[in-house]
Amino acid sequence: MLTPGHAQFHPTMITVMGQINQALTGYGAVSVYGPQIFELLGFDTRMSEYLTQGNYVSYFILMTFAWLLVDAVGRRKVLLGGSIVLTACFFLLTLFGGLAFNSEDLGIPEIAVAIPGIVALFVATGAFGIGWLATIWLIPTEIFPTTARAQGTAVSVVVWGLANFAVTLLTPILFNNLNYWLFLVFGFTNLFAGVSTYLFQPESGGRSFEENQTFFEEAKKAGTW
């Protein structure tokens, strides 16, 4: 499945790419290090913990919209919409984090940049929940034939674990060395995830199982992605 000549190489690479891109959204790190993320916006430890709890509640509510949108608008559009919002929010968080970090020198009240930072992080979390949380797990069940679906799903789980392990392991190092510039890193990783999804992720929704299999067979014959 991982060699170019294999019949399931194309679906496998889409599965691998999807899980790596999900990890590159940074939300494995945000889930684990939520309070530290809010501290970058100028909040103390106690308030950061409260805000993290609120963010998780909002996350839980907003992720339910994925169930409504994934079939209504398609997998690609949900993923791309999530990437656009996440990229914009993390670039904004870089700005807000920088202003919060330098608020005393700039004479800016911390609350004036902390509140927009809260909004941006809550919106980003909702965008991940709607766009990237569940959608990427649905796609492997649609693009592999029944004879390879178990193996394809196993590849998806393994890549998810390895990719999120790497991102979660690196995040504290980035915290210590980059401070609020960590948001900029996640902005660019989300941009990469969005661009690669746009270029290489086919739409598997709205098609029958047979149509999805025909798509991959024709793509292989044509030598295209």
Q: Please, are residues 138 and 18 in contact by the beta-carbon 8 Å criterion?
A: no
73-78 long-range contacts (CB < 8 A, ≥24 apart) are 74/203, 74/205, 74/206, 75/135, 75/138, 75/139, 75/201, 75/203, 75/204, 75/205, 76/197, 76/198, 76/201, 76/202, 76/203, 78/130, 78/131, 78/135
Confidence of residue 47 (pLDDT cuts 50, 70, 90): very high
Residues 95-127 pLDDT 10s: 999 998 888 888 888 888 889 999 999 999 999
If you search the block for the tokens 């990437």, which residue do you land on? Answer: 83
For residue 223, pLDDT beyond 80: no
Residue 225 domain flag: no
Mean pLDDT across the chain, nearest whole number?
91
Structure tokens at 103: 């608020």
Closest CA to 225 of 205, 196, 183: 196
pLDDT of residue 218: 86
Range 183-205 average pLDDT: 95
Residue 71 domain flag: yes
Cα separations (Å) of 174 from 32, 85, 98, 184? 14, 23, 15, 11
Residue 130 domain flag: yes
Residue 7 domain flag: no
Q: Please, are residues 57 and 164 in contact by the beta-carbon 8 Å criterion?
A: no
Residues 120, 31: Cα–Cα separation, whole Å:
15
Closest CA to 192 of 29, 31, 75, 80: 80
Closest CA to 62 of 122, 153, 154, 129: 129
Residues with Cβ within 8 Å of residue 43, at least 6 apart in sequence: 51, 114
Residue 116 domain flag: yes
pLDDT of residue 213: 86
Confidence of residue 210 (pLDDT cuts 50, 70, 90): confident
Residue 81 domain flag: yes
Structure tokens at 74: 């398609």
Range 168-187 average pLDDT: 92
Q: Total structural domains in the chain?
A: 1
Structure tokens at 134: 């569940």
Higher local confidence (pLDDT), 158 or 210: 158
Q: Residue 96's domain spans which residues?
A: 12-219
Confidence of residue 196 (pLDDT cuts 50, 70, 90): very high
pLDDT of residue 90: 97
The domain that contains 196 carries what CATH number?
A: 1.20.1250.20
pLDDT of residue 41: 86
Confidence of residue 207 (pLDDT cuts 50, 70, 90): confident
Residues 123-169 pLDDT 10s: 999 999 999 999 999 999 999 988 888 999 999 999 999 999 999 99
pLDDT of residue 147: 86
Structure tokens at 160: 């998810």
Residues 66-80 pLDDT 10s: 989 999 999 999 999
pLDDT of residue 76: 95
